[in-house]
A and B are shown apart, each in its own frame.
Chain A
Amino acid sequence: MQEPLLALDKVTKTFRRSGGSIVNAVRSVSLDIGPGETVALVGESGSGKSTLGRIALGLLAPDSGRVLLAGRCLGDLSAAALRDARIAMQPIFQDASASLNPRRTVRELLAQALRHHRDSVEQRSVDLLDHVGLRPGTEYLLRFPHELSGGQRQRVAIARALAMEPRLIIADEPLSGADVSIRGQILNLLIDIKEEHRVAYLMITHDISIARAFADRVAVMMQGEIVESGPAEAVLHAPTHPYTKQLVAAVPMLDAPTARDREIGDA
């Protein structure tokens, strides 16, 4: 069997509230992501899905359990080794206006990611911007995040992630801040990136329809535990766990195009 790119092995994380009560954010969660695979982590707020994302990125150490990136346990690494190892995983956050330093221009933001290519930062930046659909890239270099639209900001965040040539992109609600009409643009961009660069995705989302259409596999999280997982179509079309059923039923859906149904009032 192929070795998973990222493996979470019985990961647990608890937080202590200021009142002293203990919150089990993540409870013994195991999840594998293979190279080039797209996995959606679905859940509602407070389900622990974002905490799990931060643990996967190595931004948060689990209380117990292991995070294995290409077979290496992040917890065993020195600070310097962890820094180098997790470059292979890049985050995309929900709100690109919060994930881009408001004081930096697009050029400066990309230069941070391209700091090992000092001689060719300018050219690489323009190429990256072109690549994520901000064309011509030179037009965007001197702009500040607040001078861009929400969709454009998210593209800049994606360009910065791509600069690190990641093998896994962990996207935490990357579409929640975007207008419905823009979502398709971002999703298509993510698909292009996957095809071109063979990256794997961990897409953290509350949106079942997007999870279904975008991911190969889906894991449903509730109160810190993964209650159901499997192929996206199977899990979300024929859910077995009561919570998944409830979740699927709660979404007000628009039906896919049906052939000329004439339920409409006569003209």
Chain B
Amino acid sequence: MAATRRFWHRFLAYRAGAAATIYVLVLVVIAVATQLLSGVDPHQLSNEVMRAPSPAHLLGTDELGRDVLLGIVYGVWVSLTVGFSAALAATVLGVVIGATAGHYGGAFDLIVMRISEVFQVVPSFILAAVIVAMSGPGLTRVVMVIALLAWPQIARLMRGEVIRIKQLEFVDAVRCLGVREWVILATEVIPNAVAPILAAGTLIVGQAILLEAALSFFGLSSADLISWGRMLNSGQRFLFNAWWLSLFPGTAIFVTVLAFNLLGDAIGSALNPRTTR
């Protein structure tokens, strides 16, 4: 369809967006591959402990002789799962709540917005840490906590967009065609808010990856999962004699979060039908 082709044309015009897309696609392939391939065990211990990067172990080994590269590769799955699920949950929650609040207004709007403010003023990491510490670790819990912390961003954005869009003339024009209110909300208002929401949702993927890493870094995740944050956690003890244990997982987090931020920007610009570039 013409609209789809135009989207890709514009999207690819942002070189950073294109690079970020390729990077994320590679990550997805890696994540799927690590789940399908058997026979490689990233937990495999060896006698070659604390080796600096070398041709045999490109990114070195840790204190138990585990290969850092293998760890980073297997950590992709956790990061992406947490990032995507948390962002998806937060976005769905935020869109529904924000759209309802914006469209119908009134007491519901007031209450929802006050709740979302509470979430926004409390430092999210501390709140996440407290909740996980109280409820116990686990990937599903981490995802839920992150989604719970992130939905207000989407909801506030969605509410603002809905309030802006619903007073545009084309909504009134459609109303005069006798279309029902909820149909107007679903087919006219929300689709026009998709661009900023999708962009913000993509940014949340990055935030979620970062938050998961932070929780893992503080040991608030299941011990049997390989995650970049956990690798950092064990690496930081050897920061001065085995820099590779901190640098490479840290770089993986940094680049991945950056990629999702760039992707979010590119999506936001490419989806705007009036962007001229």
Q: Which residues of A contact B (CB under 8 A)?
A: 54, 57, 59, 79, 83-84, 86-87, 89-91, 93, 95, 98-103, 105, 112-113, 142, 144, 146, 157, 160, 164
Contact = CB atoms under 8 A, between A and B. Distances in A.
B273 A144 contact: yes
A101 B188 contact: yes
A59 B172 contact: yes
A188 to B, nearest CB: 23
Interface residues of B, number: 20
Contact of A112 (B3, B168, B179, B180): B179
Nearest to B187: A112
Given A99-B170, A102-B273, A59 B175 contact: yes
A86 B188 CA distance: 19
B164 to A, nearest CB: 12
B5 interface: no
B79 to A, nearest CB: 33
B106 interface: no
A98 B3 CA distance: 19
A44 B176 CA distance: 25
B273 A86 contact: no
A98 B180 CA distance: 20
Interface of B: 2-3, 168-170, 172-181, 188, 191-192, 273-274
Nearest to A142: B2
B169 A113 contact: no
Which of A87, A93, A101 has its CB near the most chain B CB atoms (within 10 A)? Answer: A101
24 contacts: A57-B176, A59-B172, A59-B175, A79-B181, A83-B180, A86-B176, A93-B172, A95-B169, A99-B169, A99-B173, A100-B170, A101-B192, A102-B170, A102-B273, A102-B274, A103-B191, A112-B177, A112-B179, A144-B2, A144-B3, A144-B273, A146-B273, A164-B176, A164-B177
Given A102-B192, A102-B273, A59 B170 contact: no
Q: Kindly list the 9 A-B residue pairs having the minimum CB-CB distance in the complex, ordered from nearest.
A: A99-B169, A98-B169, A93-B169, A101-B170, A87-B178, A99-B173, A83-B178, A102-B273, A99-B170
Nearest to B174: A112
Given A93-B169, A101-B170, 12 more contacts: A57-B176, A59-B172, A83-B180, A89-B176, A93-B172, A98-B169, A99-B170, A99-B172, A99-B173, A102-B274, A112-B174, A112-B179
